[in-house]
Structure 1
Amino acid sequence: MASLGSNEWRAICDKFTNAQNLTDVESRNDPENDPFRSKYKARELLREIYCSLKSFGGEGEEDSGGESGDQRPTEPLVDGQREDVFGQGFSGDSAAGLRAAKLGALEYYLGVNHVDTEELSAGQEHLMNCMKLLERCRVSSENVSLFIHVRNQLGILWAGRDETETAQGFLETAESIYQRYMKEDGSPPTDMSEYFTTEEKLLTHQERTKRFELAYTHTMYYLAQVYKNLGETERAATYCHSTLQRQLQLNQFSPMEWALNAATLSQYYITKGRYMEGRHCLSAATVISDLAGEIPSEAAAQESETESERREQLRQKRAEIARCWIKYCLNLLQDAKKLLEDNVGELDTDRQEEMKRARRVEEEEEEKGRKTALLFGSEDTFDSIASHEEKVPCLLPLDFTEARGVFLVGQNYVTQAKEYFQMDGYVTDHIEILQDHSALFLGLAFFEEDLERRCKMHKRRVDMLEPICIDLNSQYYLLIRRQLMFELAEIYNEMMDLKLTLANLQADTRALDNHTIKKFNHLCSASAKYFQMFLDSLCSPEGKPPEHLEEEVLRPALVARFRVARLHSRLISSLPSAQLDNLNKSLENYKYVVQYCEAHPEAAAAVETELELSKEMADLLPLKINRLKAKMTTNN
């Protein structure tokens, strides 16, 4: 082989540098009608290098060529199952082994080139040729980077074909190679690009380490995607968290992309009740997103189109992070409610006191967890992240004061999110944010002991949702309107119960005054109206109810029928004729629930409690109706 100082070798190195520049830099400026022009030029240079390297190597070398096509390769999932790429340990390769690695590197670069130009079968062939050449070598500091890179690429290739388990094999082997190398050697390995670099341009140990660690970070990132697709969410979250941590350590990340990924990861932790980890991810996302720079002023003179797009992307991504914070606060309140509510949905004060006594132990466990958790940040960012975390609790609120603190944080992020996701242009997003805001009020109301103040919180929910529900076009937003109708019906129903409870507490006798009756009937009628609107939205254009309710609306529809029946029976009227009309409507809806479940037995499981009560009322109401009719006849 030509020596490093020879003119021929320098020509090869220059050619390789040119190929890399064409791939990484020039290709960004390729025209739309010839998008791979620079990469095709780079491919030709790589082929020339490959031919030159083979001719320099002397006689007796076998070609590395393999079979093309979509032949599915296999890769051991655990190190040592089918091959021992480590041999007896780590040591320098022979000249032949190093030459095989260099040819393998060229096969690797050609494989990536073909994949980048959407020639996947050819890309796979070159990458598998690289694997075959590496079979002649033991893993060493000279080639371990190539061992990992080629498996990463094959993992990506097969994952793109939805062959997830095949991808998993390559990536888990890459992980195993890295871990064993670091355990048994650990010295900064040669980077593949150094195979074609003159001696004076070799990388420093620090740069070698950085590139090698970045390759392993990519392995972890791809494994996170693979485990997610396999449904192994816990492993996927662990690998995603480690990937984000390593990106910060290596200072190899795009601030807004990193922040969004961290915020997205927080949502997994939140659903698992792991609020300390969720808060840490969101705090880190907020701090790191600030590294993307300040959003330029609207008044910036002659703003370029690129800068305008960047500003818009920054605003959108920060609004998306704000929405993740809303979900954090909302879930914290909802989980606290589930923990503390009794069998009728009210605050269980005994349970509350028990949880408060256990809080000190819980706080101690939180501190231990913080010390063992995988934390984000370098020395420059860790303090900022920790400072942000202090503003938001990660323990479930146990009383109104604690719940209000969570609510106010969530409400602040609602304001931020709505600044970007406005009704004009982001209808669905805007309404979802309003629904979350309504749910925050619902979570806080659970802890409010003053029933009048609790009622006012529900009124705030009505005020934010009702105008939207009325104005929304049902032709384009039918599903959203149904959600809003149902929620408004439930809010009015809750307010009705609260007003009646208040009236009974305040009255000296069981008789209600006219003002209270009027208010009660208004809330009762409003609830029934929205439940009926929901039911009407399920009907045919001719107004006929569906004979069969789809699964996604089965329970809501039957519950709405049950609630309408209950509401009509509760309306207060001094006129017997009005009372009779209300009772008949009530009976009609109770019967509907019973008859539908008789005709569709599978529906009974979705509304067991409502069905039992409906049967009972369907038997009792006719007696009440007959007594009322008899009374009316007697009076006449």
Structure 2
Amino acid sequence: MASVSSDEWRAVCDKFTNAQHLSDVESRSDPENNPFLSKYKAREVLREIHCSLKSFEAGDGEEEVGGESPESGVQRSSEPPVERPSEDVFVRGVSGDSPAGLRAARLGAVEYYLGVNHVDTEELSAGQEHLMNCMKLLERCRVSPENVSLFIHVRNQLGILWAGRDETETAQGFLETAEFIYQRYMKEDGTPPTDITEYFTTEEKLLTHQERTKRFEFAYTHTMYYLAQVYKNLGETERAATYCHSTLQRQLQLNQFNPMEWALNAATLSQYYITKGQYMEGRHCLSAASVIAGLAGDVPSEEAAKESETESERREKLRQQRADIARCWIKYCLNLLQDAKKLLEDNIGELNPDRQEELKRERRNDEEEEEKRRKSALLFGSEDTFDSIASQEEKVRCLYPLDFSEAKAVFLVGQNYVIQAKEYFLMDGYVTDHIEILQDHSSLYRNLIFFEEEAEARCKMHKRRIDLLEPICNDLNSQYYLLIRRQLMFELAETYNEMTDLKLSRTNRQGDTQSLDNHTMKKINHLCSSSVKYFQMFLDSLCSPEGKFPERLEEDVLRPALAAKFRLARLHTLMICPVPSVQLDNLNMSLENYKFVVDYCAAHPEAVAAVETELELSTEMAGLLPLKINRLKARMAVNN
């Protein structure tokens, strides 16, 4: 090999620097009609470097290393290569600092860069060929400080390539090998390794140990990031979450991250922890996301956005990203309330005081246990951000709320983020997102109501839910937003139904209407009628254009449709009317709906499991109501 101080070698190094500049810098300014112009130029320079290295070998009289040239027509296998972690890479072949090892590494690096170049220009098969050439060259060497970085980089790239082809297990093999190599190297050696750019750098431009370490650690961070994606695609969600968490922490430690991108990834990770009931971890991710998002700077003003296209794009992007994080906070608060409700409710869905007291007694041990878990957890942050993240965490609890006061504190945090999210996701332009946020706001109220004991206060909160959803439901075009309208109609129907029950509960018995004043009777009938209206609207939305109700209900609407029929039957019996003929009509409507549930389940036995309780009550009422109807008819006949 020619001396590294020779003019020839300096020319090679200059060419490499030029190729890097073309690929990383000049390519950003390539014209739209030729987006890979600079990449193609870089490729030609890399090929020249490859030829120079081969000629140096020939000049030294050494045996050729590396097989075919970059221009060769090597037949490409359609079968995905198999790679699994192995000890062989640490014991086979020549040392990385030997002349043969250095020659293989340098040629391998050129093949690596050519492979990346072809992948960047969407020539995946050619990219795979060059990356596999790099792998073949490295087969002649054992892992050492001189080549360990290249060992990992090429496997990272092959992992990305095969993951993009949905060959997830093939990608997994390359990435797990890269992980194994890093861990084994750090355990057995750990010295700052040669960076792959240094194969073509003159001695005076070699990197410091600190910079080498930083680049090597960053390469491994990429390995972990890609593995997180692979495990997610394989359905190994817990493993994926662990790798994602570690990736985010390493990015902070290395100070190599985009603030908003990092914050969105942390907020997304929080949603996994929330679904697992790990609210301490979920809160920590969201708190870190809020703090790190702040590092992106203030959102440009409307005036600044009008004056500059760049500022306009930045304003739009920052506002959306922060609104997305706010929506993740909403889900945190909503799920925390929902899970607390599940812990505290009795067999009819009401708050169980005995269970409440039991959980309160356990609270002290829970708090101590949570503090121990927090100290042992992998926490985000550095000296600059750790205190800010901790302060953010203190704004909302991670233990289940056990009474109204605690639940309201969680509700208010969620409601504050609802306001923030709605500032960006306006009805004009973001219909689906805006409505989902409103539905979450309604759900926050619904779960807070569970903790409220006073019926009148419950009614007022239900009324706020109606005020949120009713205008939207009535204004939506059913042609374009049918599914959303169905959701809103059903929720409004149930909300009015719950308000009816609350109003009726204020009398001694549901059937005791004698003590009700005229205003209260009208109020109850209004609530009943409103619930009936929205349940009927929901059922009508299932009909064909000719108005015919389906003989067989689709699985996604089976339970709601039969539940709506059952609720309609009950609501018609709750209507308060002194006119016997109207009472008779209501009872007949009630019987018709109860019989529908019974008859449908008889005709479709698979539906029974979806409405067991409703079916049992419907069967009973379908037997009792005819007797009540006949008695009413008899009284009417006597009076006439």
Per-residue deviation, residues 481-528 of structure 1 (Å, max 9, x unmatched):
100000001100111111111233999996322222211111111111
Tell me if 1:129 matches 2:136. no
Going from structure 1 to structure 2, the CA distance change for 1:92 and 1:164 (only over 3 Å counts) comes to closer
Residue identity matched to 1:540? S
TM-score (norm 2): 0.97
Q: Specify the alignment match of 1:17 in structure 2.
A: 17
Q: Specify the alignment match of 1:239 in structure 2.
A: 243
Q: Specify the alignment match of 2:5 in structure 1.
A: 5
Q: Aligned Cα RMSD in Å?
A: 1.6
Please give the alpha-carbon distance, in whole angstroms, between the structure 2 residues aligned to 1:112 and 1:71: 20
Please give the alpha-carbon distance, in whole angstroms, between the structure 1 residues aligned to 2:409 and 2:15: 63
Tell me if 1:29 matches 2:33. no
Residue identity matched to 1:79? S
Q: Specify the alignment match of 1:40 in structure 2.
A: 40
Q: Specify the alignment match of 1:60 in structure 2.
A: 63
Q: Is the 8 A contact 2:96 2:147 kept in 1?
A: no
Q: Is the 8 A contact 1:329 1:406 kept in 2?
A: yes
Residue identity matched to 2:80? R
Please give the alpha-carbon distance, in whole angstroms, between the structure 2 residues aligned to 1:64 and 1:395: 62
Q: Specify the alignment match of 1:94 in structure 2.
A: 98
Q: Specify the alignment match of 2:86 in structure 1.
A: 79
Q: Specify the alignment match of 1:404 in structure 2.
A: 408
Going from structure 1 to structure 2, the CA distance change for 1:158 and 1:18 (only over 3 Å counts) comes to same
Residue identity matched to 2:600? Y
Q: Specify the alignment match of 2:465 in structure 1.
A: 461
Please give the alpha-carbon distance, in whole angstroms, between the structure 2 residues aligned to 1:470 and 1:106: 64
Going from structure 1 to structure 2, the CA distance change for 1:510 and 1:352 (only over 3 Å counts) comes to farther
Bigger shift: 298-307 or 361-370? 298-307
Q: Specify the alignment match of 1:491 in structure 2.
A: 495
* Correspondence 1:395-434 to 2 at 5 A: 395-434=399-438
Going from structure 1 to structure 2, the CA distance change for 1:88 and 1:151 (only over 3 Å counts) comes to closer
Please give the alpha-carbon distance, in whole angstroms, between the structure 2 residues aligned to 1:63 and 1:401: 72
Q: Specify the alignment match of 2:477 in structure 1.
A: 473
Please give the alpha-carbon distance, in whole angstroms, between the structure 2 residues aligned to 1:587 and 1:275: 47
Q: Specify the alignment match of 1:580 in structure 2.
A: 584
Q: Is the 8 A contact 1:145 1:191 kept in 2?
A: yes
TM-score (norm 1): 0.97
Q: Which of 165, 169, 173 is the equivalent residue of 2:173?
A: 169
Q: Is the 8 A contact 1:504 1:510 kept in 2?
A: no
Tell me if 1:384 matches 2:388. yes
Tell me if 1:316 matches 2:320. yes
Per-residue deviation, residues 56-77 of structure 1 (Å, max 9, x unmatched):
113421443364243310101x
Question: Which runs of no fewer than 5 residues in structure 2 stay unpaired?
Answer: 69-73
Residue identity matched to 1:356? K
Please give the alpha-carbon distance, in whole angstroms, between the structure 1 residues aligned to 2:593 and 2:510: 33
Bigger shift: 2-11 or 51-60? 51-60
Per-residue deviation, residues 357-381 of structure 1 (Å, max 9, x unmatched):
0000000011101111111111111
Offset of 1:604 from its aligned partner?
1.2
* Correspondence 1:193-272 to 2 at 5 A: 193-272=197-276
Q: State the aligned residue count.
A: 632
Question: Which runs of no fewer than 5 residues in structure 1 stay unpaired?
Answer: none
Per-residue deviation, residues 99-136 of structure 1 (Å, max 9, x unmatched):
10111111100000011111111110100010000000
Q: Is the 8 A contact 1:90 1:185 kept in 2?
A: no
Q: Is the 8 A contact 2:66 2:136 kept in 1?
A: no
Q: Is the 8 A contact 1:90 1:184 kept in 2?
A: no
Tell me if 1:279 matches 2:283. yes
Q: Is the 8 A contact 1:141 1:189 kept in 2?
A: yes
Q: Is the 8 A contact 2:344 2:352 kept in 1?
A: yes
Going from structure 1 to structure 2, the CA distance change for 1:202 and 1:36 (only over 3 Å counts) comes to same
What is the percentage of aligned positions where both structures have the same residue? Answer: 81
Q: Is the 8 A contact 1:90 1:139 kept in 2?
A: no
Bigger shift: 519-528 or 401-410? 519-528
Per-residue deviation, residues 253-283 of structure 1 (Å, max 9, x unmatched):
1111110110010011001100000000000
Please give the alpha-carbon distance, in whole angstroms, between the structure 1 residues aligned to 2:352 and 2:478: 41
Please give the alpha-carbon distance, in whole angstroms, between the structure 2 residues aligned to 1:23 and 1:70: 28
Residue identity matched to 2:86? D
Please give the alpha-carbon distance, in whole angstroms, between the structure 2 residues aligned to 1:199 and 1:113: 26
Q: Which of 304, 307, 317 is the equivalent residue of 1:303?
A: 307
Please give the alpha-carbon distance, in whole angstroms, between the structure 2 residues aligned to 1:259 and 1:59: 53
Q: Specify the alignment match of 1:189 in structure 2.
A: 193
Residue identity matched to 2:56? F
Q: Specify the alignment match of 2:71 in structure 1.
A: none
Per-residue deviation, residues 375-416 of structure 1 (Å, max 9, x unmatched):
111111111111111111100000011001001100100110
Residue identity matched to 1:47? R
